[in-house]
Structure 1
Amino acid sequence: MKVSLITATYNSEATIEDCMLSVLNQTYPNIEYIIVDGGSNEKTLKYLNEAAEKHSNIILSSEPDQGIYDALNKGIAKATGEIVGFVHSDDFLADPSIISAIVEAFKAQEVDGVYGDLHYVALENTAKIIRNWVSEPFDHRLLRRGWMPAHPTLYVKRDLYKKYGVFDLNYRIAADYDFILRIFKQPNLKFHYLPKTIVKMRVGGASNKSLKNIIQKSKEDYRAIKTNHIGNWLTILLKNVSKLKQFKS
């Protein structure tokens, strides 16, 4: 099974090397690596071009976009793998065997999607875990309680994007939550929880870097649950409260 991994970048010179190496060092042999750059104006693009010259599995494009979800949609359009996943430019895969484990889960469980656990790590010291997002096996009742898998750990069959659509650009922060609700509510789809840390994410993402963004995220989350006919304001409250136990003391 070919796996398409997509990274969206924009002026990411401080972190892009860690991100790319975590993909290029994977033991799984059949990876298509799609990098969608938003028109970086510093050293990011130079590094990307050099890497693309050395690695034939890198597909690189660079042009202005409408934000990360637009860039990810462009990556999905380019993908030819049976499985699609994302490695954001501030993130990196937890170890070199991750993709192999995910593919094995797809084969063994005969599912439409696989997800796992995520570590939020310190910006400068990535060995320091700030928040440990441990997920659980999926049950449809969890959606009304505000549950969702960590999106960077979610790998799905490419056909799901064709059938259920890509990221809705009307959402600035919560398009991933909207997409998750859209597919996880489908009774005919099967998802498998892989109890393994898949991604390490540096703290400071778009959804939680300021109080303003947290408020905006909650508003968009509420719109997503209403659009997908799942839950109410209690769902959003439970979604936010559930995160508290993930933080390391």
Structure 2
Amino acid sequence: MTTISVVTAVWNRATTIADAIESVASQDYPDVKHVVQDGGSTDGTLDVIARVAGPRVSLESARDGGIYDGINKGLTRATGDIVGLMHSDDLFAGPHILGRVAEALEDPEIDGVYGDLDYVSAGDTTRVIRKWRSGAYDARLLHRGWMPPHPTLYLRRAVFDRWGMYDTSFRIAADYDAMLRYLVKGRVRLAYVPEVFVRMRMGGESNRSLRKMIEKSREDYRAIRTNGVGGMGTLALKNLSKIQQFF
């Protein structure tokens, strides 16, 4: 059976980390390793992890250079043939999600799989605020700002080994840059499962303030130009596409 590693980078998320860990633990797929990379939390996060972590969890706590450096450290420790992320504010939409991932990647012609995502209220994860329905992958859509929902993306370990991890010179948009790198330069082949994989709490780093949103757009533009998928038009379409998620 194929091992799936789920990587969680966390720093000072005592109020949400238990949900993330318990969500991974609830998966009915039997061969799962949960790699938790803590950045030196001081708010009780480590106490929460110690209380809820089961035998699937491998924890390391050490200062890092930010979220993407923490993710990279976790990816380095991951041993699974298939690797994905569970952010410390997120949770799976159901106990069968990793089974869906493993099923899709039984096809040797597929390099990765992704699904849909619901943005939910930070205080009530049953209340859906935005619905990200990504649709099937088509490389031409990248020039229109399309991307798969990053928290739902699972890739074969070989993709990271060949095309690298997250560029930590990006503080907010390293996930977008990495996905473009894998899809454009790596030409990875993705399968789409039309099902909500992840519930993501609103209020993340990229939309925390106007300054953060401006910084995010600047980094998105750099990723777009670096990976050769367009310019300002692509950035505009990427941002406009979010509007339909509210309806």
Whether TM-score is above 0.5 comes out as: yes
For 1:129, the equivalent position in structure 2 comes to 128
Could you list the per-position Cα deviations for residues 34-68 of structure 1 after superposition, in whole angstroms to 9, with x for gaps in the alignment? 0001111122101212344xx22211000111111
Secondary structure of the structure 1 residue equivalent to 2:207: coil
Secondary structure of the structure 1 residue equivalent to 2:106: helix
Could you list the per-position Cα deviations for residues 200-223 of structure 1 after superposition, in whole angstroms to 9, with x for gaps in the alignment? 000001111111111111100110
Offset, 1:187: 6.5
CA distance in 1, matches of 2:186, 2:154: 18
Deviates more, 1:30-39 or 1:184-193: 184-193
For 2:198, the equivalent position in structure 1 comes to 199
CA distance in 1, matches of 2:240, 2:58: 40
Offset, 1:229: 1.3
Distance 1:223 1:188, change over 3 A: closer
For 1:18, the equivalent position in structure 2 comes to 19
Q: How does 1:90-109 map to 2 (within 5 A)?
A: 90-108=89-107
Q: TM-score, normalised by structure 2?
A: 0.97
The answer to whether structure 1 residue 4 and structure 2 residue 12 are counterparts is no
CA distance in 2, matches of 1:116, 1:207: 21
Secondary structure of the structure 1 residue equivalent to 2:73: helix
The answer to whether structure 1 residue 210 and structure 2 residue 227 are counterparts is no
Secondary structure of the structure 2 residue equivalent to 1:220: helix
CA distance in 2, matches of 1:50, 1:21: 11
Could you list the per-position Cα deviations for residues 129-156 of structure 1 after superposition, in whole angstroms to 9, with x for gaps in the alignment? 1100001111110110000011001000
CA distance in 1, matches of 2:107, 2:218: 38
Structure 2: 5+ residue stretches without partners: none
For 2:144, the equivalent position in structure 1 comes to 145
For 1:49, the equivalent position in structure 2 comes to 50
For 1:157, the equivalent position in structure 2 comes to 156
Secondary structure of the structure 2 residue equivalent to 1:101: helix
For 1:243, the equivalent position in structure 2 comes to 242
CA distance in 2, matches of 1:141, 1:158: 25
Letter in 2 for 1:16: I
For 2:69, the equivalent position in structure 1 comes to 70
Structure 1: 5+ residue stretches without partners: none
Secondary structure of the structure 2 residue equivalent to 1:107: coil
CA distance in 2, matches of 1:165, 1:215: 27
Letter in 1 for 2:244: K
Letter in 1 for 2:204: G
Secondary structure of the structure 2 residue equivalent to 1:195: strand
Letter in 1 for 2:223: A
Letter in 2 for 1:241: L
Letter in 1 for 2:104: A
Which structure 1 residue ranges, 4+ long, deviate > 6 Å from structure 2?
none
Could you list the per-position Cα deviations for residues 107-149 of structure 1 after superposition, in whole angstroms to 9, with x for gaps in the alignment? 1473101011000000111111110000111111011000001
Conserved? CA contact 1:109–1:192, under 8 Å: no
Could you list the per-position Cα deviations for residues 71-127 of structure 1 after superposition, in whole angstroms to 9, with x for gaps in the alignment? 000010001101001000100011000000111011147310101100000011111
CA distance in 2, matches of 1:163, 1:109: 17
Letter in 1 for 2:237: L
CA distance in 2, matches of 1:35, 1:232: 36
Q: Identity, % of aligned pairs?
A: 47
Distance 1:43 1:187, change over 3 A: closer
Offset, 1:188: 4.4
- Report the aligned-residue RMSD: 1.2
